Structure 1
Amino acid sequence: MTRRLMLSYVALALLVLLGLEIPLGYLYARGEESRFAQSIERDASMLAEIAEESIEKGNLTALPELAREYAEDNPGARVVIVDRTGRLLTDSAGTIPTGSTLAGEPDIAAALRNRTTVATSTGTNSADVLAATMPGSSGTTIRGALRVTYPMTTVTDRENRIWAVLALAGACIVTAVALVAFALARWITRPLRTLERATAQLAAGRLDNPPDADSGPPELRRLAAAFTHTATRLQHLLQAQHGFASEASHQLKTPLTSLRLRLENFEPYLDPRAHPSLEETIGEVERLSRMVHGLLALARLENTATTPGPVDADAVLVERATMWEPLAAEQHVTIAITGPAAGRVRAIPGALEQIIDNLLANALRVSPPGTTITLARAPGAGLHVIDQGPGMPEADRERAFDRFWRASDSHHDGTGLGLPIVRHLVHASGGQITLHAAPGGGLDAHVQLRPAGRERRFQTIAVTHAAAGHRR
């Protein structure tokens, strides 16, 4: 932002300078040309009077001296004098033979008709020259004409110098404006920089350095103060929420365990017809206990800020598949691993294990006997856990990550916290998780994590399993 502010100030200064210096330089150039033309016209008029007097007196020998003296006093100037018929009397440059007729040239012809001509033309060396042609007359009697030419380089050199001075002055002004703009932009954005650092700290879970509310413009100071107040209040609310979840979970664990033991102790004393209801009640108590454990796990995860690190996805996959094989065998479900190596991904410590465990648990819960769960490692470091279950409708997939939510047609004892825990672990590792219908039935829980090392592409862990309207 500092650079953008400084550039805006410099751009504004440039526009102002261009709006002032270009017209000023143009006016100066036109003025120089006008003064130059007036000066040459005045000299030509004076010389024409002297030449006319010499021609009138027949003193033609004085004309070459007159032209030569003027040319010597004004380097670059050239004087041409003709008589009333247009015959050349003298040329200070000596390039035209004396006696040559110049009556056919427009400015000489106009002067012999008693008209003054001042115009710019191209000389013999392709350079612009200013020519002032005057009649040598006394009243209406014309005795000759005089032409004075002068190269325009004298004027253009002065014009170039003034343009250079204006450019140098503009550069100095722009430099000064840039320095002032940089200092001003730094002063303006200092609270924003501290606010940015504070926002990053708050996003990481803790605000250690509040933004600077004592420097910068009043509006930014008020913004920094309001942010600090809001962040402090938000931290207190989050701490209170996390503390309540943790405390409530801990306090509920002991009564639930005691309640289950008491219910189990009732079994010998109940009528056999009440045993099904007792078993259902014990099952609900167990589900409530698992829910409390899930809440406690979520509270611990939300209170822990951990930096993701490299994890060997292949080793984790083999380890978790080995751990789940005995449980899968009890349900007559097979777990198979296929495909090339998946590589290394970035995840917080222990996250990948919990992600695979939760998703495999969901897949086993709904996998029919005699089916196979295939852990297929696809090209591009992708992992797929594919089962042959009934799947999940699209409407249920959209709500599957809501806490405590379970599908209306669910017949299992899930707590509704498995997928929220998975999502939290994935997001904390810098990845994303989405649910899709798997080919041939089942659910594709697609987890995309960042690659470890120097790889630039994302590695994919796609966990596909069946869930017939059930909630993780």
Structure 2
Amino acid sequence: MTRRILLSHLSLMLLVLLALEVPFGIFYARSELSRFSHAAQQGAMTLAEVCEDKMENGLTADLPELARAYGQRTDSRVIVATRKGTVLTDTAARSLVGRDLSAEPDIATALRDRPSVGADSDPSTGDEVLFVTVPGGSNATVACVVRTVYALGPLKSKVHATWLVLAVVGLGVLAAVSLIGFALAHSITRPVQALERATAQLAEGRITDPPATDHGPPELRRLAASFTRTATRLQHLLQAQQAFASEASHQLKTPLTSLRLRLENFEPHLAPCAQDSLDKALGELERLDRMVQGLLALARLENSAIKPEAADLNAVVADRSAIWTAFADEQQVDIMVSGAASSRVWAVPGALEQIIDNLLSNALRVSPPRTAITLAIMTTLREGSRTPPLVELHVIDQGPGMTEAERRRAFDRFWRGPDADHDGTGLGLPMVRQLTRACGGEVTLEAAAGGGLDAVVRLQCAESRTHRELLPTSADADFAGRARRRTAQSSLAAGRGSSSG
């Protein structure tokens, strides 16, 4: 932001300097040339009058000395010709004396009693010169013609020096504006940078360096004060939610366990006809316990700020499929694994296990006997060379599937399909989506090609350099280990309790 403000100031000042200095430089160059031409023309006309007077008095022999003195004084070349265009004297080359120059345009114009001024290149040196040719005569008869030739090199050097001065002045102004603009931009962006740091700290869960409210423009001061109040309020809310998530588990588990024991103690004293009601009550109590555990797991996920780390998806899939094979065999369902030999992805510690457990639990619940559940891993490339590839995990069942409207609602908390059993809590798929987003990925439900449901989990490939900064630091190691143990403990219970899929 500092660079952009500075560039905007410099660009504006550069436009102002160009708008002022370029026209001034052009005007100066033209005015100097005009002044020089006018002075040369006045001098040539004075010299022509003196030459005419010398010729009328028969003092033609004085013309060479007169021309030489004028040429030395004005640093010019002087040519004096007769009324017929014959050269009488030339201060630069004596070889021109006696030559007829009446055919040259400026001489011919002067012989017709009209002066001529123009610029041309010198045939001998190639330099640009200014020539002034004037007639000498006090009446209609032209007695002589005087041509003065001036080199324009000194005039151009003077103009170039002026352009150089203008450039130096412009650079000096730009340098001064740069210092002023940098100081101004720094005073504006320093509060913004402080807000940026505070926002990043708030995203991590705690503000250790709140933005100052006594620096910068009044608008940014008010913004910093409002942000500090909002951040403080959010921290209090987050701390309260974290305290609830950490304490509710113990506070809710104790009465549920006590209630289970009391209901079980009723069993010897109940009549056989009431046994079915007791079993249903115990089943609902078990479902309530799973629901509480699922809600607490979601609360921990929302409050956690663990950074993803590289994980071997193939190894996790192989491990979880081996564990779930025993449950699948009881229902005569096969679990098949296919995909790439090695797929490393970015994932929150313990998240992959819980994602796969929930999806396998849902797939196993709806899979008919003598069918198969397929876990397929594939890598997809996205458009753009800088876009990292994705690793997709497909959990495909051969059950009844879901309609498009049901797939859209499947990730809502507590939602269950119309034909779902009553043991589910409706928290499995919401937990899968929360875990997947914590890993930097996304999960969708699609219709399988041969019928059934295809749950697709898309994660970032760990080989991408773009996401290496997501690796956990050493300060996160203890917290990551605790999260891994928490998710591992609740994975099977939460997975079995879901009926969203």
Whether TM-score is above 0.5 comes out as yes
- CA distance in 2 between partners of 1:122 and 1:14 (Å): 36
- Partner secondary structure for residue 78 of structure 2: strand
| TM-aligned CA distance change 1:298 to 1:150, over 3 Å | same
Q: 1:457: how far off?
A: 9.5
8 Å contact kept, 2:337–2:374: yes
What does residue 91 of structure 1 align with?
90
- CA distance in 2 between partners of 1:112 and 1:53 (Å): 17
- Partner secondary structure for residue 46 of structure 2: helix
Q: 1:4: how far off?
A: 0.5
What does residue 111 of structure 1 align with?
110
8 Å contact kept, 2:442–2:458: yes
Cα RMSD (Å):
2.4
What does residue 139 of structure 1 align with?
139
- Partner secondary structure for residue 142 of structure 1: coil
Task: Note if 1:431 corresponds to 2:460.
Answer: no
- CA distance in 2 between partners of 1:309 and 1:172 (Å): 53
What does residue 53 of structure 1 align with?
53
Q: Which amino acid aligns with 1:115?
A: R
- CA distance in 1 between partners of 2:500 and 2:395 (Å): 18
- CA distance in 1 between partners of 2:446 and 2:120 (Å): 83
8 Å contact kept, 1:355–1:425: yes
- CA distance in 2 between partners of 1:266 and 1:403 (Å): 34
- CA distance in 1 between partners of 2:379 and 2:351 (Å): 23
8 Å contact kept, 1:409–1:470: no
Of residues 334-343 and 145-154 in structure 1, the stretch that sits farther from structure 2 once superposed is 334-343
Q: Which amino acid aligns with 1:384?
A: H
What does residue 326 of structure 2 align with?
326
8 Å contact kept, 1:250–1:296: no
Q: 1:382: how far off?
A: 4.1
8 Å contact kept, 1:316–1:352: yes
Q: 1:20: how far off?
A: 0.9
| TM-aligned CA distance change 1:455 to 1:321, over 3 Å | farther
Kindly tell me the number of residue pairs found equivalent between the two proteins: 462
8 Å contact kept, 2:407–2:446: yes
| TM-aligned CA distance change 1:382 to 1:210, over 3 Å | same
- CA distance in 1 between partners of 2:237 and 2:47 (Å): 99
- 5 Å-filtered alignment, 1:340-419, equals 340-378=340-378, 382-419=392-429
- CA distance in 1 between partners of 2:239 and 2:408 (Å): 29
- CA distance in 2 between partners of 1:407 and 1:415 (Å): 11
What does residue 262 of structure 1 align with?
262
| TM-aligned CA distance change 1:378 to 1:430, over 3 Å | closer
- CA distance in 1 between partners of 2:407 and 2:211 (Å): 41
Q: Which amino acid aligns with 2:85?
A: G
Of residues 132-141 and 90-99 in structure 1, the stretch that sits farther from structure 2 once superposed is 90-99
Unaligned 5+ segments in structure 2 are: 381-390, 469-495
Task: Note if 1:471 corresponds to 2:481.
Answer: no
Q: 1:128: how far off?
A: 2.8
Q: Which is bigger in relative contact order (C-alpha 8 A, separation at least 6)? A: 2
8 Å contact kept, 1:435–1:444: yes
Q: Which amino acid aligns with 1:439?
A: A
- CA distance in 2 between partners of 1:89 and 1:191 (Å): 84
Q: 1:95: how far off?
A: 6.6
- CA distance in 2 between partners of 1:113 and 1:129 (Å): 23
| TM-aligned CA distance change 1:95 to 1:293, over 3 Å | farther
Q: 1:275: how far off?
A: 4.1
- CA distance in 2 between partners of 1:96 and 1:5 (Å): 68
Q: 1:234: how far off?
A: 1.3
Q: 1:19: how far off?
A: 1.0
Q: Which amino acid aligns with 1:85?
A: K
Of residues 193-202 and 413-422 in structure 1, the stretch that sits farther from structure 2 once superposed is 413-422
What does residue 123 of structure 1 align with?
122
Percent of residue pairs bearing the same amino acid type: 56
- 5 Å-filtered alignment, 1:237-276, equals 237-270=237-270, 272-276=272-276
How far does the alpha carbon of each residue in 1:371-394 deviate from its partner, in whole angstroms, 9 at most, with x for none? 111223335654333221121222
- CA distance in 1 between partners of 2:94 and 2:217 (Å): 75
- CA distance in 1 between partners of 2:467 and 2:297 (Å): 31
Q: 1:246: how far off?
A: 4.4
How far does the alpha carbon of each residue in 1:153-198 deviate from its partner, in whole angstroms, 9 at most, with x for none? 2221111111111111111211221122122211210111111111
8 Å contact kept, 1:290–1:415: yes
8 Å contact kept, 2:395–2:456: no
What does residue 79 of structure 2 align with?
80
Q: 1:146: how far off?
A: 0.6
What does residue 3 of structure 2 align with?
3
- Partner secondary structure for residue 306 of structure 2: coil
Unaligned 5+ segments in structure 1 are: 459-466
- CA distance in 2 between partners of 1:445 and 1:342 (Å): 21
| TM-aligned CA distance change 1:121 to 1:274, over 3 Å | same
- CA distance in 2 between partners of 1:276 and 1:231 (Å): 53
8 Å contact kept, 1:342–1:378: no
Q: 1:232: how far off?
A: 0.8
- CA distance in 2 between partners of 1:30 and 1:95 (Å): 34
- CA distance in 1 between partners of 2:378 and 2:237 (Å): 44
8 Å contact kept, 1:342–1:377: no
- CA distance in 1 between partners of 2:106 and 2:343 (Å): 92
| TM-aligned CA distance change 1:208 to 1:433, over 3 Å | farther
What does residue 37 of structure 1 align with?
37
8 Å contact kept, 2:396–2:455: no
* Structure-1-length-normalised TM-score: 0.91
8 Å contact kept, 1:249–1:295: no
| TM-aligned CA distance change 1:304 to 1:268, over 3 Å | same
Q: 1:328: how far off?
A: 1.2
- 5 Å-filtered alignment, 1:173-184, equals 173-184=173-184
What does residue 102 of structure 1 align with?
101
How far does the alpha carbon of each residue in 1:300-331 deviate from its partner, in whole angstroms, 9 at most, with x for none? 22333212212122221111111111111111
Task: Note if 1:443 corresponds to 2:453.
Answer: yes
How far does the alpha carbon of each residue in 1:369-419 deviate from its partner, in whole angstroms, 9 at most, with x for none? 111112233356543332211212221222222222223342342112112
8 Å contact kept, 1:134–1:145: yes
Of residues 386-395 and 254-263 in structure 1, the stretch that sits farther from structure 2 once superposed is 254-263
Q: Which amino acid aligns with 2:114?
A: R
| TM-aligned CA distance change 1:318 to 1:429, over 3 Å | same
| TM-aligned CA distance change 1:170 to 1:95, over 3 Å | farther
8 Å contact kept, 2:392–2:459: no
Of residues 131-140 and 273-282 in structure 1, the stretch that sits farther from structure 2 once superposed is 273-282
- CA distance in 2 between partners of 1:245 and 1:383 (Å): 30
8 Å contact kept, 2:309–2:346: yes
- Partner secondary structure for residue 159 of structure 1: helix
- Partner secondary structure for residue 377 of structure 1: strand
